[in-house]
Amino acid sequence: MINSFKVNLTATLLKQCLHNNCMIGSHFCEKTCNHYKGQDKPDANGDSIIFCEVLAPQQGSELMEKLSEGNKKMRMYIIGCIDASDRDLERLPETSGEKLQFLSDTFISEYGYNIKRYGLQGAICEYLKGLPSAINTAYMDNDILILARDWGWIEAGASEAREDRIIAKFFPQLANAIIKLWRDNKTIIKAVN
């Protein structure tokens, strides 16, 4: 049996909620997302709110648990991909916090000038697409789909169109997760002049 529930998406999430591939927060929703066109209204802060009806199984908590587990796996994957072994550092970063600080510092020095152009998430996304020196993430479509299945973003036997949408969202999702990791670990992001 299928229930429906409404999700308010602020304007910042509007870009992520496209073509029946709704992402709630930093998660892909594997069910249908129906937009109610013309019903976007500003909230008390002036942000536009889009109302979406997301169809989900009656066991909604199971879906959220699965998405939460995928989010944890993605965060562990990101930290595991941070690599400073090719650097001539006095001491290699070992803890999660040290690795995240190393990634932040390297990102700022190599690509920080693009933050004004793309915004922080966009700049990180473009940085990741360019196969950066500080983090070695998957970049081939098949590898991305394997990770997506492991993280619960997509089921086996999904349509090619669905797989293409997942692949297109991979780097923006990683960028969003990196920002959340930096925030959660109170990573210092140095200013760019």
Using one digit for the tens of pLDDT, what is the confidence trace for 48-106? 333 333 333 334 456 556 658 888 999 999 999 999 988 888 889 999 999 999 999 99
Q: Is the domain of 136 the same as that of 177?
A: yes
H or E element: which one contains 116?
helix 115-129
Extract the tokens encoding 126.
């473009």
Whether residues 33 and 72 share a domain: the answer is no
Q: Which residues constitute the domain of residue 20? A: 2-58
Strands annotated E in the chain: 2-10, 23-24, 27-28, 33-35, 41-42, 48-57
Count of structural domains within the chain: 2
Q: Does residue 118 surpass a pLDDT of 90?
A: yes
More confident residue, 107 or 8: 107
Q: Do residues 17 and 86 share a domain?
A: no
Residue 35 above 60 pLDDT? no
Same structural domain, 81 and 105: yes
What mean pLDDT value characterizes the chain? 74
The per-residue pLDDT for 7 is 36
